[in-house]
Structure 1
Amino acid sequence: MTDTAESAARLSVAPMMDWTDRHCRFFHRQMTRRALLYTEMVTAPALVRGGAVHLLEFDAAEHPVAVQLGGSEPEELAQAARLAEAAGYAEVNLNIGCPSDRVKSGCFGAVLMKSPELVADCLTAMREAVSVPVTAKCRIGVDEQEPREVLPAFLKMIERTGLRRVTIHARKAWLQGLSPKENREVPPLDYTLVQEMKAAFPGLHLSINGGVTTLAEARSHLDAGMDGVMIGRAAYHDPGLLLGVDEEIFGEAPRATTRRDVVAAMRPYIAAHLEAGGKLAQITRHMLGLFQGRPGARAWRRILSEEAHRDGAGPEVLDHALAALPETSLAA
């Protein structure tokens, strides 16, 4: 099957727990047609044992979109991958990088870097279960591991399973002593090591993740030879940067889409969500950073934060928030 997500992986938005839900992804898609969007991590036990297939729901407009799975039992991951493929995802990704407590207790995420043969079994089972691409997201190492020894061996193992694409978060994960937030900030970034892995494994499509906050930085990694760049928190807190992705990263003709246009594009989606019994804040919480760095951004955030949670809140909240912005912020 053609890897429809591979070209989109030139720039992807990271899977982020409690953030990249389907409303967030629909919002991000209004700003870039090309970038690959990831779900927040969905655990295989929740899907297979818990029957929580609603966690796989998404809007077709989100494509290209990939699901990230968490788990450590090969057959269970294979079953979860089948469910994800049936739901229509373009890619199934295995989480080998998350350091959160609930991930450690479940024996998956970054702790799996200590069990490469188990990872190989998981990836092989997933690949054999589905026709869509299976990919992985890992760290450069965990705890006392020496990344320059561990990462090449880990990628060699992944390559043996037949996997083609891997995203590498260019930091170690410390499973003891650091919180998940600290694990995103404290361990030093080693971009050089990840770039060396691309040279050492030319047959793998490698994306780099960690600390990338601008499209200029993303371009620098691509210019250095990486196949793709994954942006995380920057795309969430300053989603407006996604407006430049199709032009600056994928080479498309400039678009005239403004932030005001993005808000307008969200209105039918919001109306349908409210009609189905949803709450406005479930969507607008992802839109708080749309005017980040622009005049009126604080008023926009405040009005959405204060008013979207009220009972019966509807599109008038957006009107109020937009009215607080100067035309210079709306026209770009």
Structure 2
Amino acid sequence: MRADRLLSLLLLLQNRGRLTASELAAELEVSVRTVHRDIEALGAAGIPVQADRGRAGGYRLMDGYRTRLTGLTDAQAGSLFLAGAPGPARELGLGADLAAAQLKLQAALPAELAARGRRLQERFHLDAPAWFRDADPVPHLAQIAQAVWDQRVLHATYRRWSGEERPRRALYPLGLVLKGGIWYLVARASDERVRSYRVARFLAVDTGSEGFERPAGFDLAAYWQESTRRLEDAFHQETARLLLSPRGRRLLPMQFGAAGVRALADAEPADPADPDGWVLVHLPVESRSVAVGDLLRLGTEAEVLGPPELRRALADTVAALAERYAESGCAGDGRRATITA
């Protein structure tokens, strides 16, 4: 285990440059004291690690030093063949590069590791988009990706979710995220705020000649996680109290995802004497109009107890549906087509 950790420490310093003991400890999930001992062990093994003191100090490798270590375990070699999803790579304009890189890697690996990589490719496949939904058209993705890589300003026209076309504006692209088969650009706008933009909604994109500096310490993964949490909090405007049948409990995660799973974790028996096993859950829901449509998908396997306004809105919708589908309305009233046998 320590040998693996020493190798990881060495590769961190080689790939990232100067790092503090605290940063290394966080990456390796060990104590700062352990990092100091590991640095000493690397030095004793002849690895030229330098310690820079002061506020901007840390550990780094001597200028010009690079390890030639190429040893890979079975699992590490196999993971490289799964690291690139061919669909997203193709959308980024890197499909041919990914295929060529995998061929070169396969040729460089020992026979047994190359065979393991081929078996993994034969047995595992990543299909990112969700079911029953076509992938977004992303004609500007490759150009946006190049601007992200080159740190070039984008001048873009964007269509908001409401259909409104926003005027051409300058964006400072910081990263791309693939979420559920949908590409998003994370970029800083001229007002210095960092926002997320759905790539399919870009109507026109031009790459400027001017570059820009990335915000110091910007972490794309951390930003996306926090942005996702804020979006979920904004969508969930109230909490519905539901009675669920046993079948309703199975449907809830399918209809409401992670929110449904969390709600079920805190479910309470509606009535301990109830032989049917109905439970009470508290489920965060979106705006009332959206919540009504979502909750109706549970059908008769759920009953909304509150808030009163939400229960009333559901009752009104169900009553309107009952009136529309009543047998006496089959002939239509001038607004609907006449149904004939």
Asked whether the two chains share a fold, i.e. TM above 0.5, the reply is no
TM-score by length of structure 1 reads: 0.22
TM-score by length of structure 2 reads: 0.22
Q: Which has the larger radius of gyration?
A: 2
**Higher strand proportion (structure 1 or 2):** 2
Of structures 1 and 2, the one scoring higher in RCO (CA 8 A, sep 6+) is 1
